[in-house]
Structure 1
Amino acid sequence: MAEALPPAFTWTAPTDGAALDVGPGGGQAEVRLTAGSDQFQPFTVSITRDGLPALTEQFSGTSYAKTVTFGPAPVGARSISVKCADPNGLSSTQTRSLVGRDSVPPTVTLDPFSDRQTARSFPHTVTLTGRTNGAASAVTGVAFAFANGPSGSAEDTSSGRDWSAWRVQAPLATTGTYPFMVTVTNSRRSTASASGTITLVAQGPPAFTWATPAVGDMVDLGPAGGQVALRLTSGSDQFYPFTVSIAHDGLPATTDQYTGTEFTKTVPFGPTPVGARSISVTCADPNGLSSTQTRSLMGRDSVPPTAALNPFEGNQTVTSLPHPITLTGTTNGAPSGITEVSYAFDNGPSGVAQDTSPGGDWSAWRLRDALPTTGSYTFRVTATNSRGSTVSASGTINLHL
């Protein structure tokens, strides 16, 4: 009689080295076996994994499948062993290694924070807050470490006490640059990190560079005024946000927040005066410290007035005295903001012309007056706009008998 042999079976799944996804509730793997019809059955199948008590079942065919549960930890090397015993008590065993991987790895994010801070005294406490995926990954803790500074455990500030929200309060001893790292760990000992840098400076007034406009720059002014493109820059070592106050021409200051290394703003200027204009910028930091710069600009008329005389008779015969005269003409009116057209005759009358334009903008005008006696009269007609700019047109009228 041939000697009895131990059971022969083929382990088809999982393969050696296969990945095993585990989460907070553990994981599963399907064990599949096959055996030839020439085997002495039923087999007693015992499945052992991670040193836990064996799962035992009967195997009475050519194929066997069972879903086996694994605990959530550890991530990495996991073991599983299958033993098949026949009714004669003969048995054979196979063992495989699996690789546990975290199916819900931890995540960590930092809330926005000031990467440059000004200390009024030391140690200066830095507060950092952030989020994790908490219970979904079974987070067990959040730790922090500052280069050349403190390290330790964060505080769990989540309402469910699952580390989904956390806070770090770290005392920094002196000025300098402090890289830091926040690391979250879950129940499977998986980790994730977020990092940043905080630069700590001593308290001081804000320092900024006024890039535009330059001292003496021209401001083009029209009937509605003009605009200046203001640009400030400052280093990342400042204590932000700045409160930027801009005052010009004695008007109340405008106030804006400046939270970066460049600030731009279009500043409106009134139409008058043409000539010297002033603008002042004050930057104040959250400590209440401030610095101010002032510049002088030059306002110039971007649409100066124009004036033209309509054709007129330069030689006129006098039939009676005083002799009436009428002159008409045009200006560029509303585009220049014309406010008046005046006239003056040498050794004769002067005054203000009449606005004859349909829009009341002095684009057409007329003067009527009388010259007292015969002779030559040189005259000048002057248009004035809202910025005080003027332009003149002149001519001569000869009166004779």
Structure 2
Amino acid sequence: MKSLFKDPLFYKDWKSSKWICLLMTLILFWDKPRTASETLSSLKYQMLMDKTFVFDKMWFNQLLLGWSNVKSIFVLGVIVLLCILLFKGEKQDSTCDLLHSMPFTRKDIMVSKIKVGILTISIAFLINFIILTFFYFNNKSQIGSSYLDIPKFYSINLLFSLFFFMFLVFMQSMVGQYFAAAIIAPITLFVPNMFASYIVDLIRLGKGLGYDSPKLMALDQSVRNSNIYDIVNTYAIDRMEKGPDGEQIGHIDRFIYENFDIKIMILIILIVVFAVLAVIIYNRVKLERINKLIIFKPVETVFKLGVGICVGMILSQIFGYPKAPEQVANMPLIYITLLIGTVIGYFIAKLVVKFCSR
């Protein structure tokens, strides 16, 4: 650790990211440890005031692994801010010229940023993991779920955050403007899921399938699995109980991670792949194109086509899809609006690239 802080590149990047580390630590603390403490206090109070109150010891599992995306969005937003701060100087003419005139290789610059990002995110998660571990063993008698829920939760969320950061870094190596890269990267991660959903829609409309069709349901499940943002989501195991009138009432018994080991392996592989690609690509950047919207010409073409197809899909859904579920789909109209939208989107992207590269 001492050798890291003696590195001038690392020290320069750490100065701008230490406050991000603090902010992320506070957000993660607000998300789980604080909420867990308040929830337990509330449950104890209810038990004290109401003698008929049944204390469900699975509350901790439901709080920790239950569905809550709001705090995750905040964490990802902070990671985007971290990436902007790390690359802001390198994409400005004066700082860029100064850095590249010093005895640092581009590989050194990129590796330094990756190290700082990994350290910043890992410290925030580690601190909150330790706090929640102490909370768990301090209140073990009121918690019925396994301690393994805590390391599982923090490990998969840490790895996803590192993957998200690494993908942002990868995009920064290809996009010349740091703010544009920070916007494009999160959207790009969602595009495969959007495209797969659109293909399934075309199959459904073309074959006249209902939403309850077994084939369509299987395809729809595959589409949901293609959304990388859902990799940290959990699965609820239901518990059926009989109500006072004899009817079956469903309750969520506990939350678990499906295919946890596979998800961990996928995230580790993605982190390594995008880190290596970021270093290799940044090493090949030409200084005269550092302020272009898209640094590499082949990527510029992919960007234009990607924007075009996305605009085409949106326009075909607005103007080509049937307005009511019982209506028969006009497939030629869908394909025509898709084509027109793709052409419009392509030229819009072309104008944006030209305008931003002045």
Q: Which has the higher strand share?
A: 1
Higher normalized contact order (CA 8 Å, seq sep 6+, divided by chain length): 2
Q: Which structure is larger by alpha-carbon Rg, 1 or 2?
A: 1
> Structure 2-normalised TM-score?
0.19
